[in-house]
């Protein structure tokens, strides 16, 4: 199971956090990863100047613009999912 936390604090909210959450949830559903990936909100990941902040499996924090959701999904979330399957 891959857990993706998207910051929904004020800085990230103003930079499109909810749009990013919606896009990532759609991509998870599109790729039939509903049982393998959880997208959830987090109130602050401590990287407010680099918003929208996203953390995968309580590890590395990424800065993701909502319009880059699909690219982020392909490069980071799917890659983590593949590593979990090994």
Give the C-alpha separation, 67 to 69, whole Å.
6
Reading phi first (left if > 0) and then psi (alpha if -120 to 50, else beta), residue 39 is in beta
Evaluate whether 63 touches 19 at the Cβ level (below 8 Å).
no
What band does 75 get if pLDDT is binned at 50, 70 and 90? very high
- What is this structure's pTM? 0.90
Domain locations along the chain: 2-85
State pLDDT tens for residues 9-43.
Answer: 999 999 999 999 999 999 999 999 999 999 999 98
Tokens 């199971």 belong to 1
Region 2-85: CATH code: 3.40.30.10
∠ CA(37), CA(28), CA(68), 5° rounding?
110
For residues 10 and 24, the answer to whether their CB atoms sit within 8 Å is: no
């Amino acid at each position: 199971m891959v857990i993706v936390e998207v910051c929904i604090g004020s800085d990230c909210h103003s930079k499109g956090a909810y749009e990013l959450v919606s896009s990532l949830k759609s991509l998870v559903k599109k790729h039939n990863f509903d049982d393998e990936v959880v997208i959830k909100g987090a109130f602050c990941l401590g990287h407010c100047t680099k918003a929208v902040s996203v953390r995968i499996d309580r590890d590395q924090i990424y800065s993701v613009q909502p319009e880059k959701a699909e690219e982020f999904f392909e490069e980071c979330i799917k890659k983590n999912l593949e590593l979990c399957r090994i």
